[in-house]
Structure 1
Amino acid sequence: MFLPLHDSNPIRHVHFPYVNYGLIGITILVFLVQAALPPSAFDAATINFGMIPIVVRDLYPQPVAWLPDWANLVTYAFLHADWLHLLTNMLFLWVFGDNIEDALGHAKYLVFYLACAVFAALAHLLFNLEGNGPLIGASGAVAGVMGAYIVLYPHARVFVLARIVWLIPLPVPAFWMLGFWIATQLFYVVIGSDEPVAWWAHLGGFAAGLALAPLLKRHNVPLWGGR
Structure 2
Amino acid sequence: MVIPVHDVNPVRSTPWVTYALIAANVVVFLYTPGIAGSVAGEGSLTQLCHLQAFLDQYAVVPRELIHHQMPRLVPTGDIAVGPQGPGCVVGPPGYDKSPELSVLTAMFLHGSWLHLLGNMLFLWIFGNNIEDRMGHLRFALFYAACGYAASYGFALLNATSGDPLIGASGAIAGVLGAYLVLYPKARVWVLVPFLIFLPLRLPAWIVLGFWFGLQAVYSSGEGVSDAGTVAYAAHIVGFLAGMLIAWPLRPGTPPPPEPRGLLFGRQARPRQTW
User: 1:129 deviation in Å?
Assistant: 0.7
Question: Which sections of structure 2, spanning at least 5 residues, go unmatched?
Answer: 38-45, 73-92, 258-274
1:220 to 2:262 alignment? no
Deviates more, 1:185-194 or 1:128-137: 185-194
Q: Classify the secondary structure of the residue corresponding to 2:3.
A: strand
- State the shift of 1:64 in Å: 6.5
CA deviation digits over 1:179-222, x for unaligned, max 9?
0000011112234555111011000100110011134x497325
TM-aligned CA distance change 1:64 to 1:109, over 3 Å: farther
Which of 73, 98, 109 in structure 1 is aligned with 2:139? 109
2:199 corresponds to 1:169: yes
- Tell me, yes or no, if structure 1 residue 147 matches structure 2 residue 177: yes
Could you tell me how far apart the structure 2 residues matched to 1:32 and 1:111 are? 25
5+ long unaligned stretches in structure 1: none
Partner of 1:60: 70
Matched residue, 2:19: 21
Larger radius of gyration: 2
User: What's the TM-score, normalizing by structure 2?
Assistant: 0.76
* Residue identity (%): 42
Letter aligned with residue 58 of structure 1: H
1:1-227 equivalence runs, <5 A: 1-12=1-12, 14=13, 16-34=14-32, 35-37=35-37, 39=47, 40-56=49-65, 57-61=67-71, 65-191=95-221, 195=226, 196-215=229-248, 217=249, 220-221=252-253, 225-227=255-257
Aligned residues: 222
CA contact (8 A) 2:119 2:169 kept: yes
- The worse-fitting range, judged by mean Cα deviation, of 30-39 and 176-185 is 30-39
Classify 1:54/1:191 alpha carbon distance in 2 versus 1 (closer, same or farther; 3 Å).
closer
Alignment root-mean-square deviation, CA = 1.9
TM-score (norm 1): 0.91
Which one has the bigger helix percentage?
A: 1
Q: 2: CA distance between counterparts of 1:64 and 1:128?
A: 26
CA contact (8 A) 2:173 2:236 kept: yes
C-alpha distance in 1, partners of 2:247/2:98? 31
CA offsets 1:153-200 (integer angstroms, 9 cap, x no match): 010000011112211111000000000000011112234555111011
- 3-state SS, counterpart of residue 78 of structure 1: coil
What is the rounded CA distance, in whole Å, between the counterparts of 2:94 and 2:206 in structure 1? 43
Q: Judging changes above 3 Å, is the alpha-carbon distance between structure 1 residues 19 and 191 closer, same or farther for their aligned structure 2 residues?
A: same
